[in-house]
Amino acid sequence: MGLPQISVSGSPAECGAAYGEQTRDRTAANLVAYRRRFRDQAGLSPPAVRAAGAAFRAATIEHHPRIAAMLDGLAEGSGVPAEEIYALNARTELLYGQPEREGCTAVGVLGTHTATGHLLLGQNWDWHPDQRDAILLLRTTDERGHTVLTLAEAGMLAKTGLNSAGVGQCLTMLACDRDGLGATRPPGVPYHVLARATLEADSLGWALRVACRSPRNASVNLLLGQAGAEPVDAELIDLELVPGDVGWLHPTGGMITHANHLETSLPVHDIQRDWGGSSLFRAARARRLLAETVAAGKTTPDDLAAVFVDHASFPHAICRHVDERVPPVERSESACSVLLDLTGRRFGIAEGPPCQHAYTWLDLAG
């Protein structure tokens, strides 16, 4: 496997420090890239970025002190000011309003509808191709024995992943007219802190509690599930989280799919309506592509993988490729494709567009 695999253990502060030490160069390079994006795309000066990072740090300490300890340790281990690490984990909030938000398609299938009885999740993570060198896998085991295995960018704590309690998540971006910072909505919990907080949960119910109670400045879609001892004991739910509100979707016919637009009736303006794009068909297409195997109760990880290589509307497809007609700053591709077997505690990853890369499987236990 080409992606760096970082494995750390101990208290949150110890995990963060070890992670920072092992990724010092990658984190520094990632910060350089995002400082440039903050300046060029959002017009933010370095002092403004640090000020925002300090405010996000205060919110994280208030709502998720263990994650704050991990981020503070990460900053110390990587030799970077803490405010910059928090700004990095809040890059979604700081880059609010950029059309590159469109990307990612997620799928979940209940174990009652899979060939092995295992609860399956997966997604393509679509992001700027310049971020390839920042991508890594992070495995943490805390002092309680709780293990998390997640995709991440250097200096960040989580994206798609699963944990030793059988909880797993996929993330897709959303955008609405409530997003952003301002006098009426002070800095809340950064997008990537929220992603980490749900993976710290030891049950689906606690993950939902954490997600809904965390104040937010950016919209995000979380596809969450937890495996059980038997297929009927597993559960799957999708949360559409916007600042100040939340909508949810339950499985239909044993599955949930989601892209980058709102599917619940939240009282906000969905910015995807202004941008258009492939999000408007990707989730529906994924449902159709899986319908036969899900209805037969025979879905396998290979069936999910077949969805993630789909090229309908290429290059703006489920398997996304760079469109040279788009300005460089807005370009995107399927940087990774992830398959999660929550029952088997297994993590599969294709290190690039899945049409060009095979999946490698990792066991949560390492």
Is-same-fold flag (9-94; 99-363)?
A: no
pLDDT score for 235:
98
Reported CATH class of domain 99-363: alpha beta
Beginning with the edge strand found earlier in the chain, give each strand of the sheet holding 135-142 in spatial order.
5-10, 135-142, 147-153, 161-163, 167-173, 220-226, 235-242, 245-249
Q: Has residue 346 got a pLDDT over 90?
A: yes
270 CB burial (10 A radius; 0-12, 13-18, 19+): buried
**CA neighbours within 13 Å on the CB side: how many for 352?**
11
Rounded mean pLDDT, 182-201: 89
Question: Which tens digit of pLDDT belongs to each residue from 39-94?
Answer: 988 899 999 999 999 999 999 999 999 999 999 999 999 999 999 999 999 999 99
pLDDT score for 99:
47
Q: Has residue 184 got a pLDDT over 90?
A: no
Rounded mean pLDDT, 343-361: 97
DSSP state of 182: B
- The C-alpha atoms of residue 314 and residue 278 are separated, in whole angstroms, by 10
Rounded mean pLDDT, 11-28: 98
323-to-36, 93, 101, 131, 334 alpha-carbon distances in Å: 22, 25, 15, 16, 12
- The C-alpha atoms of residue 141 and residue 50 are separated, in whole angstroms, by 30
CATH no., domain 9-94: 1.10.10
Q: How confident is the model at residue 181 (pLDDT cuts 50, 70, 90)?
A: confident
pLDDT score for 103:
76
The percentage of the chain sitting over the pLDDT mark of 90, rounded to a whole number, equals: 89
Which of 11-25, 31-45, 280-294, 333-347 shows the lowest mean pLDDT across its residues? Answer: 31-45
Domain positions in the chain are 9-94, 99-363
Predicted structure pTM score: 0.95
Closest CA to 81 of 5, 11, 144, 27: 27
- The C-alpha atoms of residue 268 and residue 262 are separated, in whole angstroms, by 9
Rounded mean pLDDT, 207-220: 96
- The C-alpha atoms of residue 170 and residue 107 are separated, in whole angstroms, by 8
- List Cβ<8 Å contacts ≥24 apart for 356-363: 359/301, 359/305, 360/1, 362/5, 362/137, 362/149
Q: Has residue 256 got a pLDDT over 60?
A: yes
Average predicted confidence (pLDDT) for the chain: 95
Q: What string of DSSP letters covers 98-136?
A: -GGG---EEEEE-GGGBSSS--EEEEEEEE-GGGGGGEE
DSSP state of 329: G
Question: Which tens digit of pLDDT belongs to each residue from 133-150?
Answer: 999 999 999 999 999 999
Provide the 10 A C-beta neighbour count for residue 360.
Answer: 14
Question: Which tens digit of pLDDT belongs to each residue from 93-142?
Answer: 998 755 445 679 999 999 999 999 999 999 999 988 888 899 999 999 99
Q: Has residue 207 got a pLDDT over 80?
A: yes
